[in-house]
Amino acid sequence: MTARYLATRLAGTVATLAGVAVLVFVVLRALPGDAVTASLGTEAGVLTNEQLAALERYYGIDQPIWQQFWSWLTSVLTGNLGVSVDSGVAVTKLIFAALPVTLELAVLSMLISTPIGIGLGMLAASRPGKARDVGVQSLGLLGLALPEFVIASVTVAVLASAFSYFPDPGSFVPLTESVGGNLSQMIYPSLVLSVGLVATVMRTTRSAYLEATQTDFVRTARGKGLAPMRIRIRHILHNASIPIVTIIGIQFGYLLGGTVIIEQIFALPGLGRLLLTGILQQDYAVVQSTVLFVAVAFVLVNLAVDLTYRALDPRTRLR
């Protein structure tokens, strides 16, 4: 059953990635301009027809779109993600230079938000409809309603005026060089991202926790006189873990490709900033390969989540 399940998921993964590849390829080429105008700017207008044709051949955009797609796809399948038109650096090198930053940002955000969100969700569910429940849910709605870019902008403004903190992409300190220096730059964007994540995890935990408290085995555990804390952790929270693990996995996958604005505001050289720069420069190789890389990471995270909750709940293994 497990082999059949994995085969089904693998087929779905391949279909999803193929759809992503086609979509990003078509959408990118639907934007005004091309690689020539992106690299030369207004100077492209003074090119002769021969010069323009030579540059189009150089960038490979003189071919039919289906041929461009096939050429790019076959290169990707062989591990060649292309070369950045803007910097002349291999896209693989650019992605793996930016990946640790985004990955660290995602991990720190989840480490902050997960325990707080689960704790608040359990706190709210312990007295449904009471003051603490209303208060926690109100904070959750506020966290979901506030856009990340607003929180980030206000945070940077406050830090700049109070502590002369000004994000500078040229002064980023990798974790391998200085743990303290790196965390001093990563903690603020991680806290900003955690606001919405805490609210999402809290709401999911509350709903799953309340549903689990209504089950027969919880009433039986209470009837046996088991300690309330053991009932909350061992019986209720454990059986409410599947939706919690699912939402945590989805949010983590989102963070791998959804931190563009935060990385831009805090000047972090991560995947989001790389993708935004590629879009502005119409650097096809960078945008296509980065989006596809993020899609692969998101799909793998979701697969890991599925396997995790199949291990947590034996009932799911029967599917």
**153 and 237 belong to one structural domain:** yes
Question: At residue 254, does pLDDT exceed 60?
Answer: yes
Residue 223 lies in a domain: yes
Question: At residue 28, does pLDDT exceed 80?
Answer: no
Of the residues 42, 77, 112, the one at which a domain ends: 77
What integer is the mean pLDDT of 133-138? 90
What pLDDT, on the 0 to 100 scale, is given for residue 107? 93
Of residues 130 and 232, more confidence is placed in 130
- Average model confidence (pLDDT) for the chain? 81
Both structure tokens of 162:
């109070």
Residue 86 lies in a domain: no
Residue 220 lies in a domain: yes
163 to each of 54, 155, 157, 213, 302, how far by Cα in Å?
53, 11, 10, 47, 40
- Rounded Cα distance between 255 and 194, Å, is 11
Of residues 41 and 305, more confidence is placed in 305
Residue 84 lies in a domain: no
**204 and 265 belong to one structural domain:** yes
Token pair 């490979």 in the structure block, residue: 60
Residue 35 lies in a domain: yes
Helix (H), strand (E) counts: the chain? 15, 0
Percent of the chain's residues with pLDDT above 90: 13
**259 and 235 belong to one structural domain:** yes
**Domain count within the chain:** 2
How many residues does the structure list for the chain? 319
**105 and 152 belong to one structural domain:** yes
Residue 24 lies in a domain: yes
Both structure tokens of 252:
């983590």
**36 and 168 belong to one structural domain:** no
Residue 82 lies in a domain: no
- Rounded Cα distance between 130 and 170, Å, is 50
**183 and 212 belong to one structural domain:** yes
Residue 267 lies in a domain: yes
Instruction: Classify burial at 66, counting beta carbons within 10 Å of its beta carbon; exposed 0-12, middle 13-18, buried 19 or more.
Output: exposed
Angle between helices 91-126 and 241-257 (to 10 degrees): 150
**90 SS3 class:** strand
b/e code 244-280 from CB counts within 10 Å (16+ = b): bbbbbbbbbbbbbbbbbbbbbbbbbbbbbbbbbbbbe
- Rounded Cα distance between 27 and 38, Å, is 16
**56 and 101 belong to one structural domain:** no
90-116 per-position pLDDT tens digit: 888 999 999 999 999 999 999 999 999
Q: Any idea what the CATH number is for the domain that residue 147 is in?
A: 1.10.3720.10
Residue type, 296: V
**118 and 229 belong to one structural domain:** yes
Residues 6+ apart with CB under 8 A from 11: none
What integer is the mean pLDDT of 30-54? 66
Cβ proximity of 241 and 74 under 8 Å: no
**153 and 287 belong to one structural domain:** yes
Specify the pTM.
0.81
Of residues 291 and 221, more confidence is placed in 291
202-240 per-position pLDDT tens digit: 999 998 888 888 777 777 777 777 777 777 777 777 777
83 has which bridge partners? 90
What pLDDT, on the 0 to 100 scale, is given for residue 46? 60
Of the residues 27, 53, 77, the one at which a domain ends: 77
- Rounded Cα distance between 137 and 165, Å, is 33
**127 and 64 belong to one structural domain:** no
What integer is the mean pLDDT of 187-193? 92
Q: Which domain holds residue 50?
A: 2-77
**66 and 194 belong to one structural domain:** no
Instruction: Using pLDDT thresholds of 50, 70 and 90, give the confidence band for residue 277.
Output: confident
| Dihedral over Cα of 37, 40, 42, 46: its sign | negative
**99 and 173 belong to one structural domain:** yes
Give the range among 42-46, 129-133, 182-186, 261-265 with minimum mean pLDDT. 42-46
